[in-house]
Structure 1
Amino acid sequence: MPVLVSGGARGMGAAIAREVIEQGGQVVLADVLEKEGQDLADSLGSAASFIHLDVTQETSWERAVSHAQDRFGQLGGLVNNAGILLEGRVETTTPEQWQRTIAVNQLGVFLGMKAAVKAMRSAGGGSIVNISSTAGMTGFTDCFAYVASKWAVRGMTKAAALELAQYGIRVNSVHPGDTMTDMIAGAVASSGAVTTHDQIPLGRYALPSDISKLVLFLLSAESSYISGAEHVIDGAVTAGTPAH
């Protein structure tokens, strides 16, 4: 099943792309990071391809989906993984920071789903996995816009799951806790505003490969009756948080 992964050049997206290839699939890595994305695609072989993608632009998404169809014949899976974290509290976040965060993390997911629907309908169905966060399950300080965007991803996932079920398209969200990616490493370096190991019941941060295995399950036929659900993978950090 050909899968399109946004933000696929590094971090969690790269781990998902590698997992797709290891499981015998085909992957289109889509990212603004052209050299990193192309180098990764080249290293993964003929079952991988790279295309430049600005997730905030509808025409860019349309080109990426068409590229997947041209290269691999159809599109069966989409992973909306691209995201940014701009730190700021409610009283310090600027309108520009807010708009940039919403454009990438929320608008980008919407445009990705919209672009994929026609291709998945023609393929007879498909699976969309939207990468949210534990910040889409509860509140966090110092990342006001990010929290808002990740709650939106959770809601959009549920609405899309209801609308697209008739076409055999499943939609789920994945909510990782702190995962050792460049984005989290940057947050640690700038302010240390992440969960520490002693605050995680399982005693460690997630690895990108931990997340990729869950994503591959949700993309696969093994999860054929799972749709509209949020899947938390955080080492039990939010296990004691009341349900919303």
Structure 2
Amino acid sequence: MFDFTGKTVLITGASGTLGATLSTRFAQAGANTVVAARTRFDEVAAETGGRNLGVRLDVTSESDWAEAITRAEEHFGPLDILINNAAYLHVGTTESIPVDEFRRVVDTNLTGALLGIRAAAPSMRKAGGGVVVNVNSIAGLAAAPGLVAYSSSKWALRGLMRAAAKELARDGIRVNAVHPDIIDTPLAYGPDGNELVPVDNFAIPRRATPNEIADFIVFAASDQARFATGSEIVADGGFGLGAIA
């Protein structure tokens, strides 16, 4: 069991399935949990138990980030951990995706993480150091046809993670990433209700549960991972091995 007693963690996209799972897991481990989302943040905060705070956060808004960090510090003190979990997905190919949707995906998945690290770093310096965990994807490790915006944003997120890790290392701030396989959440399905990426031919032929992926993220945020920065943890169910005939 990981112990985050006295640590303050902010989780973006906390109203989603994985975000809500992470909020509960960190609260159960003793953390001061800041539940950040555009909607349902107070509802999820009430469900997490422990010491928690719900805040409205659109990750693409610099002013929202400033307000979220200020409120976290007022309630709990400096921020120790940031989980960049918020994500947006739009199905579309290189030729078919509307440009405004491409930009929305990149703004949420990439620019949102940049703004989060930028807003959190000064608070973490006050705490004497900290941890950022970016929730990436197997779409950031392999071609994802039909998901060109999502894949582009996740590949770019890897570059952001590495640059930030090198820039912030001497401040005691670690920046790492977790690459999940397909998680059993609404993001795994298209508008028609069909799964976006069939998993029958994966080495482990099923979607991951939110709790399984939360295990990796909680570890990456913990002191047990204290010697890792700029690192990528792949939790892909064997996706990278290729299809099993």
TM-score scaled by length of structure 1? 0.93
Structure 1 stretches of 4+ with a deviation exceeding 6 A read none
Question: For 1:98-117, what aligned pairs fall within 5 Å after superposition?
Answer: 98-117=102-121
Question: For 1:5-24, what aligned pairs fall within 5 Å after superposition?
Answer: 5-24=11-30
- Aligned amino acid, residue 205 of structure 2: G
Pick one of 154, 163, 168 that aligns with 1:164: 168
**Partners of 1:25 and 1:17 in 2: how far apart?**
9
Cα distance, 1:67 vs structure 2: 1.2
Moved more, 162-171 or 44-53: 44-53
What 5-or-longer segments of structure 1 have no aligned partner?
A: none
Residue 38 of structure 2 corresponds to 32
Q: Is the 8 A contact 1:153 1:173 kept in 2?
A: no
**Partners of 1:86 and 1:43 in 2: how far apart?**
29
- Do structure 1's residue 194 and structure 2's residue 197 form an aligned pair? yes
Residue 8 of structure 2 corresponds to 2
CA RMSD of aligned residues (A): 1.4
What 5-or-longer segments of structure 2 have no aligned partner?
A: 1-6
- Do structure 1's residue 67 and structure 2's residue 43 form an aligned pair? no
Q: Is the 8 A contact 1:20 1:27 kept in 2?
A: yes
TM-score scaled by length of structure 2? 0.93
- Aligned amino acid, residue 15 of structure 1: T
Deviations along 1:42-98, one digit per CA (max 9) or x if unpaired, are 122351110000100111111111111111112100000000110000010111111
Residue 218 of structure 1 corresponds to 220
Question: For 1:82-231, what aligned pairs fall within 5 Å after superposition?
Answer: 82-184=86-188, 186-187=189-190, 189-196=192-199, 198-231=200-233
Aligned residues: 237
Moved more, 15-24 or 160-169: 15-24
Q: Is the 8 A contact 2:30 2:50 kept in 1?
A: no
Cα distance, 1:238 vs structure 2: 1.0
**Partners of 2:50 and 2:209 in 1: how far apart?**
26
**Partners of 1:16 and 1:44 in 2: how far apart?**
9
Deviations along 1:10-59, one digit per CA (max 9) or x if unpaired, are 211111111101111121011011xx221121122351110000100111
Identity fraction in percent: 35
- Aligned amino acid, residue 73 of structure 2: Q
Counterpart secondary structure, 2:190: helix
Deviations along 1:188-242, one digit per CA (max 9) or x if unpaired, are 744432122x22212221011111111111111111001101111111111349x
Q: Is the 8 A contact 2:14 2:85 kept in 1?
A: yes
Q: Is the 8 A contact 1:188 1:194 kept in 2?
A: no
Counterpart secondary structure, 1:173: strand
